[in-house]
Structure 1
Amino acid sequence: MSEEQLSAGGGRTSWRRFTIAAASSLVLAFGTITTTTAASIPLSFAVAGNPFSVTARRLDAEGAVQFASFRQDAAGARHAVAAVGIRKARLYGLCQSALAHTPLGTVTLLIRSGWQEPVTASQMALDLASLKGDMSFGEVEMGRDAATLQGGGVTGTRGTYGQQAGTLEIKHMRMEAWSLTAGMFTLNGATMNVRAGEHPCP
């Protein structure tokens, strides 16, 4: 049996065909990020069973809000999230990695931005599982009712803790997110690779 093929119940499955099929599914999933508008907030689609990763050398944002919430996946499980809304953002040195766990193994989709120009996004909404980095906030309001948040494009349930900032900078950013939508998401000089196995962003 060659490395290109796997025998299963008398049939033969081409790894090349499998990789193309997996890549197509992952690209379609990523397509929802680039085409979803802010009008869809609050988000209504079921999230995948595991979060994806995004890293960047730096994020500069104007108008950022955050509050606690829950998201539900296709299996019905609920996940606690930090719901974040950002009016405008620029990300430098962006890398996104998403894993697809299949019966034939794990496939990683890697998307990287070019180094000459930043990734730009507007009316962006994220459901975060975790966030790390060196953060600087300007014009901060903490403890504000989540239903009254302004400037980030999303609001939470009345009585829920919320916070907002006029400006936000995160250096050496690393986040795990269940979902991301944006009115516009632009990557110049981007590259996309699909590889067998787990290959997260560095």
Structure 2
Amino acid sequence: MLLSGGRHRTGRGRRQPAGGRTNWRRFALVAPVALGLAGATVATTTAAAIPVSFAVAGSPFSVTAQHLRATGAVQFPGHRTDAMGTRHPVAVVGIREARMDGLCQSAVARTPLGTATLMIRSRHARPVHASDMVLDLARLEGDMTFRSVEMGRDAATLDGAGVTGPAGVYGQQARTLEVTDMRIKAWSLTAGLFRLNGAAMDVRAGDHPCR
């Protein structure tokens, strides 16, 4: 997969060591193809018709989880543009159904009164459920397990999660995906459903991202 974590496993149990971060050297080989396609956008087939072409904020936000379990996952390179017109290379990840345990989401903002952090946490005993989710990732870390993997598939033909990319771009998909000790930096997240039961949200002075 384009994103790299602590350990990668296929359905047959083979392990491949990885560096714990996105392999940008390899990513750079395919990202310019997507970046050069002017006007190319992510196509979703969610019932909620979630828009994914909005301008993103000028800095990514953090999401951590003890464990993510997903059914139907696809990935391909792309880009997102912020409100200042700057393009950011991303790994577009689509997930049909997901369950996350111990979720924490944080965004750090610079305000006239100083730095502030908006944080949302779920209760450890109350998992978060999401469906028809699309993430634009800058980085992902964690121990990942993929099953029934297809690599090198044209992004326009992906059918695992209702998300497709531009024709001619490298794509990959898996029937299931599990990530333990997940740490991600994301430019955006959209979902047809994102349910947090018993969650808490607070604002703290200073820079306190999820760890």
Q: TM-score range by the shorter chain?
A: 0.7 to 0.9
Q: Please give the secondary structure, in 2, of the residue aligned with 1:39.
A: coil
Alpha-carbon contact 1:38-1:124 (below 8 Å) kept? no
Write the distance in 2 (CA, Å) between the matches of 1:82 and 1:171: 19
**Residue 40, structure 1, aligned to residue 50, structure 2:** yes
Could you list the runs of 5+ residues in structure 2 that have no partner in the other structure? 1-45
Q: Report the equivalent of 2:90.
A: 81
**Residue 96, structure 1, aligned to residue 96, structure 2:** no
Question: Which string of whole-angstrom CA distances, capped at 9 and with x for unpartnered residues, describes residues 121-177 of structure 1?
Answer: 000000000000000000100000000001212111100000000000000000000
Instruction: Give me the TM-score of the superposition, normalised by structure 1.
Output: 0.80
Alpha-carbon contact 2:50-2:191 (below 8 Å) kept? no
Q: Report the equivalent of 1:110.
A: 119
Shift in Å, 1:103: 2.9
Write the distance in 1 (CA, Å) between the matches of 2:159 and 2:106: 31
Shift in Å, 1:74: 0.3
Q: Report the equivalent of 1:69.
A: 78
Q: Report the equivalent of 2:176.
A: 167
Write the distance in 2 (CA, Å) between the matches of 1:87 and 1:153: 7
Write the distance in 1 (CA, Å) between the matches of 2:131 and 2:79: 23
Alpha-carbon contact 2:139-2:184 (below 8 Å) kept? yes
Q: Report the equivalent of 1:189.
A: 198
Residue correspondence of structure 1 range 98-177 to structure 2 within 5 A: 98-177=107-186
Write the distance in 2 (CA, Å) between the matches of 1:117 and 1:191: 12
Alpha-carbon contact 1:119-1:188 (below 8 Å) kept? yes
Could you list the runs of 5+ residues in structure 1 that have no partner in the other structure? 1-35
Letter of the 1:174 counterpart = R
Write the distance in 2 (CA, Å) between the matches of 1:129 and 1:152: 20
Runs of 4+ residues deviating >6 angstroms: none
Q: Please give the secondary structure, in 2, of the residue aligned with 1:152.
A: coil
Q: Please give the secondary structure, in 2, of the residue aligned with 1:147.
A: helix
Shift in Å, 1:38: 4.8
Letter of the 1:101 counterpart = R
**Residue 58, structure 1, aligned to residue 70, structure 2:** no
Write the distance in 2 (CA, Å) between the matches of 1:174 and 1:141: 24
Shift in Å, 1:104: 2.6
Instruction: Give me the TM-score of the superposition, normalised by structure 2.
Output: 0.76
Q: Please give the secondary structure, in 1, of the residue aligned with 2:163.
A: coil
Q: Report the equivalent of 1:13.
A: none
The structure richer in helix per residue is 1
Q: Report the equivalent of 1:29.
A: none
Count of residues in Structure 1 that have an aligned counterpart in Structure 2:
166
Shift in Å, 1:37: 6.7
Letter of the 2:200 counterpart = T
Write the distance in 2 (CA, Å) between the matches of 1:61 and 1:185: 13
